[in-house]
Amino acid sequence: MTSHCPNMRVNPFLIIVLALLVLVMQGCFHSSSGGGSIGVTPNADPTGYYTNNGFVDVRMADNTSQRLVNDMQGMVTDGQLMMLSDSENITYIGTFTVSGNDFSGSVTVYEAGAMVQQDVSVTGLITEGSSLTGTLGGSGVANGTFQLNYAADNGPVNLAQLERAFDWSPVINLNIPNLNLADTTQVAPADNIGTGGTGSNIFDGCSYRGRIDPIAGTHLYTVSVTMVNPCTGAAAGVVDAIPAYTGLASVRGTDRFVLALSNGEYDFSGEYFECLVLFCTPQ
């Protein structure tokens, strides 16, 4: 019997093209509900307290000689970055955005309580739950690299952890005031934090009152204070011209309180120790 079907030849190249087209179309219509979009990295979360063994490797005033600071600690939440050295009285405060594991933003730099540079670019990498590394794009103290190390204890905090019979006292930086947090039972918006006059430098004779509250689920507090009375001494008419300060705070262990406060022109930031007697020195 003779077949009436024509003799058909199939082009192998055409089969390959059709197969690839099917695969591509499957990828286009793949539902993200089963595992997310291919190749998209979720934003890292850098929120937390970073302990005091980080560093900044920056420059001296000549913008050439190295200035390495090895006691940097920091606080990060909701796009806010605050890092400070208690020994060098340097503070970097700014904002940033996150894209995947990268972040970028800008900081204002304070030294000895006063602003020295602003709008300094900052870029870097987040290793979630481990570190924050970055580059500062300014000059001198704002020209270089840094690393913050995530603290092992980053559990939620509460106001009861801050209550002390006597003041929290500065460990090194005597430019900042003693802090009285004995009335932390006051309900918002009532003041629950007070300060005594500072010992020296640009905040000599200034006193403050304000509010501190824990940020739910973090190892951080929000802080806002305002000068109660005009400052006396060298500070009169200078730092009290801008009386309101805001920032973040945290605790390390049971006897260290870390504070970073600023208002764009001045800051008082540093580390405090638990004073167990009327007159005491840090242990």
Residue 37: predicted pLDDT: 53
Selected residue with higher pLDDT from 223 and 22: 223
pLDDT > 90 fraction of the chain, expressed in percent and rounded: 54
Residue 179: predicted pLDDT: 80
- 43-69: pLDDT as tens digits: 999 999 999 999 999 999 999 999 999
Mean pLDDT of 23-41: 53
Residue 28: predicted pLDDT: 43
- 198-239: pLDDT as tens digits: 656 677 777 888 899 999 999 999 999 888 777 776 667 777
Structure tokens, 43: 């934003």
How confident is residue 30, by pLDDT bands cut at 50, 70 and 90?
Answer: very low
Verdict on whether the full-model pTM lies above 0.75: yes
pLDDT > 70 fraction of the chain, expressed in percent and rounded: 79
Q: Which amino acid is at 117?
A: Q
